[in-house]
Amino acid sequence: MKDLEQLREQLDDVNLEILKLINQRALLVQDIGQIKTKQSMKRFDPVRERDMLDQITSQNDGPFEKATIEHIFKEIFKASLELQEDDHRKALLVSRKKKPEDTIIDIKGAKIGDGNTHYVIGPCAVESYEQVEKVAAAVKSKGIKLLRGGAFKPRTSPYDFQGLGIEGLQILKRAADKHGLAVVSEIVNPAHIEEALDYVDVIQIGARNMQNFELLKAAGDVNKPVLLKRGLSATISEFINAAEYINSRGNGNIILCERGIRTYEKATRNTLDISAVPILKQETHLPVMVDVTHSTGRRDLLLPTAKAALAIGADGVMAEVHPDPAVALSDSAQQMDIPMFDHFIEELKEMDQRIKLVGEKN
């Protein structure tokens, strides 16, 4: 019995020794990782790994077999590599680890990310001044600041209405100025960014362009807030990296917008990934909005999904409104008319107040 006790004590010591050594090894791997990052070198080097394994197994006198030793060391190598990846993630400019406090973006006095709910409302596409102005008046009457409208429309079919281009931006600005609103509009071509700066207060980058890296870089090079939409099939990690492209060029004023992802479900146009909202809020310091129009593609689901967005902690909601949706040149099935919009906002404001009351009580 005494022998057993003694052996166990020795084993405990060896365990601690191994622990100390693998952590010592991990520190070295982290240092190597930093050098590799600086030199843009790939973290995983299979040739180097093979050399290390050969060196180790050639010195192995047992009792473990070569294959067992290889297996154990490969696990240690893998864990170290993951550690490097964690460090890399930690270093992302958009990550909460980098900047714990929320980013608040001031758009003509509307402070996105300040804890209040903000709305981005307007037609799918700019069709005429009269059309946009009617929506702008309704938006203003609800105390909303951000007017949206598509001037450059990235349509799935090349034969569908492509938008009015710069003329559309001019219309948006004229209607927004009349009512003291800010303009949010999508830009699809990096060459248009400079010109758009005269008309828009927020550059929207659409789902189809979330990984258009040249566009992301061009938006990152200017001093204008960007509303970045999640790609149709983008993972949350890809979405965060797209935001990082913008931030890495110096523009940190980014609003993330969940707009539904493609799944096998056909009941809605896309599947609203509502859990992306708290994940993005945890992982990044950026404000997060939910576009209920494109995520559902169904008028009857706009209000319930917007309520879900508020309940889960979104900083804002985007929705499309058209004075006469039946004749809209795009997305006619899913835009709200103005009476429906009025009801939509009233319901959401009421819910917002209830959420705030509960928050105060807690």
Contact between 273 and ligand PEP per CB under 6 A: no
Taking the least distance from each CB to ligand PEP, the nearer of 33 and 148 is 148
Residues 43 and 60: their CA atoms lie apart, in Å, by 27
**229 in Cβ contact with 259 (< 8 Å):** yes
Minimum CB–partner distance for residue 356 and ligand PEP (Å) = 28
Minimum CB–partner distance for residue 245 and ligand PEP (Å) = 17
Minimum CB–partner distance for residue 272 and ligand PEP (Å) = 12
Question: H or E stretch including 184?
Answer: strand 182-186
Q: Binders of Mn ion among 235-264, rule CB under 5 A?
A: none
Choose the stretch contacting Mn ion; rule: CB under 5 A; options: 37-45, 176-184, 242-250, 324-332: 324-332
- Provide the mask over 179-208, with x wherever binding to ligand PEP is found by CB under 6 A and - wherever it is not: -------x-------------------xxx
Residues 98 and 86: their CA atoms lie apart, in Å, by 12
Contact between 259 and ligand PEP per CB under 6 A: yes
Burial 320-356 (b: 16+ CB within 10 A, else e): bbbbebeebbbbeebbbbbebbeebbeebeebeeeee
**273 in Cβ contact with 260 (< 8 Å):** yes
Residue 301 is encoded by which pair of tokens? Answer: 């689901």
Residues 81 and 86: their CA atoms lie apart, in Å, by 9
Question: H or E stretch including 80?
Answer: helix 66-90
Minimum CB–partner distance for residue 218 and ligand PEP (Å) = 17
Residue of 29, 164, 9 whose CA lies nearest to 86: 29
Contact between 124 and Mn ion per CB under 5 A: yes
Contact between 127 and Mn ion per CB under 5 A: no
Contact between 229 and ligand PEP per CB under 6 A: yes
Residue 258 binding result from ligand PEP, Mn ion, none, given CB thresholds of 5 to 8 Å by partner type: none
313: left (phi over 0), alpha (psi -120 to 50) or beta: left
Residue 207 binding result from Mn ion, ligand PEP, none, given CB thresholds of 5 to 8 Å by partner type: ligand PEP
Provide the Cα torsion 90, 93, 97, 101; round to 10°: 180
- Provide the mask over 136-155, with x wherever binding to ligand PEP is found by CB under 6 A and - wherever it is not: --------------x-----
Residue 288 binding result from Mn ion, ligand PEP, none, given CB thresholds of 5 to 8 Å by partner type: none
In the set 331, 338, 341, 345, which binds Mn ion (CB under 5 A)? Answer: 331
Q: Which residues bind Mn ion (CB under 5 A)?
A: 124, 331
Positions that interact with ligand PEP (CB under 6 A) = 124, 150, 186, 206-208, 229, 259, 291, 294
